[in-house]
Chain A
Amino acid sequence: MKHPDPLIQETLDVWMPRFLNGGIHYYDIQKATGRMKSWDDWGPEWTKMAEMHEALAEEAWQAGRRISSVQAFQTAARYYHMAYFIYTRDPEVHDRGLRKMLECYDRILGYMEPSVEKVTIPFEDTFFVGLFSRPKTESPPPVVIFIPGLDSTKEGRHNARGTYMRRGMAVLSIDAPGQGETSLRLKIRPDYEKSVGAAIDYLESRADVDVDRVGINGASLGGYYAPRAAAFEKRVIACVGNCGPFDWSEVFEIIPQVTREAYIHYAGAKSREEAFEQSKTMTLKGAAKNITCPLLIVHGKQDPLIPWEQGKRIVDEASSQDKQFILFDEGNHGCNNIQYKAGPLVADWLAMQLGGTVS
């Protein structure tokens, strides 16, 4: 399946496994991309596909078929995410996709299994949002903060909660500045440690988790945010990064054009030059050495966005005694193509660091 438009083909090459893992159907990908002439059509065509799924959800809801409807609204939310995923050329289509994604997800929030609580986290003079779930344990469980990347969201990340809850950990997936729902109000901030600090302050206000056992887990740009937070926020006691940059400006020219366009959007930059200047602040230079907690960095050697040497450098410069760099020879960006290797490895590592269970 080769698409005549190079931007669409590049997007499929990089993200096909991620789309499929995220619950987008192969047949729908074939159909939607088959209708697109160029990248400009990405947002509108995925919006149509999402509307079809939303109609299925609505129909099931009207018929009182609640289980089917809850599933279908989650599917619709994922498809609306596709409509704006790294698609920022038409900001109206982008924003509508984001808003519809949230609307579909929030509509059935009360019926999710395992259950999901939407939380508001005070941040400076404003707030950001998160999704929270915890296993049914007697004593307060440890908690993992899931950090999205440039264009993933708390909803997408929270899909993996079951894997963590089964291992005895609570999960808080956040949309901090520049991410998902919060990106509608706040632009990307290089000092992500402030967001993680605010999230932990919030967790301290809850009696149902053990705030002495907080881990963080980020992929893609979240693989920069997580170690960055661990460097400055000492309440983080275990940190995982997956395919994140050591210095965002070093990869700024390497990443696909549509990813760069998305960064310009989420950073609130007016031009490519301005975005490049801002990207220089997204760095672990002088920061990585402050990381002292157990650290696991996984990277795909075939990652076309973030060269694996970036991940290795984070581990090389970290001061942690317990640090590990795992390079998957065949891994792509986010190690999405070999999720069956990276996914269990990360979950088990965090369970062991935080006192969850692996059996």
Chain B
Amino acid sequence: MMHPDPIIERVMETWMPRFLGGGIAYYDIQTVLSRIRDWDDWGPEWMKMAEMHEELAEEAWKKGHRISAVQAFQTASAYYHTACFVYVRDLKIHNRGLKKSVECHDRVLEYMEPKVEKIKIPFEGTNILGLFSTPRGGGPFPVLIVLPGLDSTKETRHQRKGPYLRRGLAVLSLEGPGQGEVSQWLKIRPDYEVAASATIDYLETRPDVDPTRIGIFGMSMGGYYAPRSAAFEPRIKACVGNCGAYNYAECFIVDSRPIVSREAFLHYSGCKTEEEAFEFAQQISLEGVAERITCPLLILHGKLDPLVPWEQGKRIVDEASSVDKRFVLYEDGIHSTSNVGYRSNPLTADWLAEKLGGTLS
């Protein structure tokens, strides 16, 4: 046990490997856990920790230690993200964490290695956002659209671009409605395919990518968005979902789902009550939709996932019409298979590289 407060304990059980994998130092997690009494303290204490990292970044920057500063600002961004991650009880803190996370990241955007470009994608009279990087060498490259989940962001997803770039794929980490920075002006949409289509329209304007080789990959709630998009958008040539829902309403009421995850869903969907959220969640469904998927499909799931039962993932594959489809279940995997990432990540990257004409060697 890591914490006497049951909510915090549940959060740590569910996401400890995710925090560590996202660049949060173990010692800082211990320090924050020792300072917080209950969940209400989560946001404020992580804000303090993030501020410490931002100061380190600022100090390095002022001294002209640019390499260190660029690294430290990205670290600070990841910590600010942790402050607002599934923490919506104090919306001022949530929003400030989100803004600061973006601010720290964007401040050093032009110095990142490999290069990262921030892009605006026109969407229904407004816009959605993405981070874009290309592999070394000359294009046009196949491109992978990476989707965050309920409460991850384009910044956290783009941190993991390296393995895809190395395999010859360009990466566009997207924030559609309800996600990250974009969540400030657009709420969750069950018909995420409209965001994917807008993104592909944008990609078709870029000479450095090959629009006939577009893949899509989402984790957690992104594991619903990705197959949903593949069902309606024929320009997607390969789709990976990791621990996504077939029907979000069915997951919403699972006992083992942390209460804070439900709270975050209310916030990002703009619902006022649990009842309203449950109603809305019924629209987040692949019923009658999954059968429209025809492209190569890979669904990964952890059998111990407490948020989205593994049968949800299996149902996506069962109902898809794809000739080339595969369901991989990790007996000991938790949500997003983050504890066995050394199994699921290389598999995902290699599978996508193979389908999209990247390289495995």
A-to-B contact residues, CB < 8 Å: 1, 16-17, 20, 25-27, 53, 56, 60, 64-68, 71-72, 75, 113, 166-167, 330, 332, 337-341, 344, 347-348, 357-359
Q: Quote the shortest CB–CB distance from B61 to chain A (angstroms).
A: 10
A10, B199: Cα distance in complex, Å:
52
Q: What distance in Å separates the Cβ of A9 from its nearest Cβ neighbour in chain B?
A: 14
Known A16-B26, A66-B360, A67-B166; contact A26-B66, beta-carbon cutoff 8 A? no
CB pair A339 B25 closer than 8 Å = yes
Say yes or no: B68 contacts A358, CB within 8 Å.
Answer: yes
Q: Are A348 and B342 in contact (CB under 8 A)?
A: no
Contact of B65 among A60, A72, A358 (CB under 8 A): A358
Contact A340 B16 (CB under 8 A): no
Residue of B26, B68, B163, B346 touching A348 (CB-CB under 8 A): B68
A75 CB contacts on chain B under 8 angstroms: 342
B72 within 8 A of A: yes
Known: A67-B360, A340-B72, A344-B72. A25 touches B25 (CB 8 A): no
B203 at the interface (CB under 8 A from A): no
**B27 close to A338 (CB less than 8 A):** yes
Give the chain B neighbours of A359 by CB distance below 8 A: 64-67
Contact B17 A338 (CB under 8 A): no
A82 shortest CB reach to chain B, Å: 14
Nearest 10 Cβ contacts at the A-B interface: A337-B27, A66-B361, A359-B66, A27-B339, A68-B346, A344-B68, A358-B65, A65-B360, A348-B65, A65-B350
User: Interface size of B by Cβ–Cβ distance < 8 Å?
Assistant: 36
Q: What residues on A are CB-neighbors of B25 within 8 Å?
A: 17, 337-340
- The answer for the CA separation of A25 and B72 in the assembled complex, in Å, is 23
20 more A-B residue pairs beyond the given contacts A67-B167, A68-B350, with a C-beta to C-beta distance below 8 A: A1-B2, A20-B20, A25-B342, A26-B16, A27-B339, A53-B342, A60-B350, A65-B350, A66-B360, A72-B342, A72-B346, A113-B166, A166-B113, A330-B31, A337-B27, A339-B25, A344-B65, A344-B67, A344-B68, A348-B65
Shortest Cβ gap from A160 to chain B (Å): 13
Q: Which residues of B does A touch, CB under 8 Å? A: 1-2, 16-17, 20, 25-27, 31, 53, 56, 60, 64-68, 71-72, 75, 113, 163, 166-167, 332, 339-343, 346, 349-350, 359-361
- Whether A56 and B67, one on each chain, are in contact in the complex, defined by CB atoms closer than 8 angstroms, is no
Nearest A residue (CB) for B343 = A56
What are 9 A-to-B residue pairs whose CB atoms are below 8 Å? A20-B20, A25-B342, A26-B16, A65-B360, A67-B167, A67-B349, A68-B349, A340-B53, A341-B56
Check B17–A71 contact: CB distance below 8 A: no
Closest to B346 in A: A68
Contacts of B72 in A (CB 8 A): 340, 344
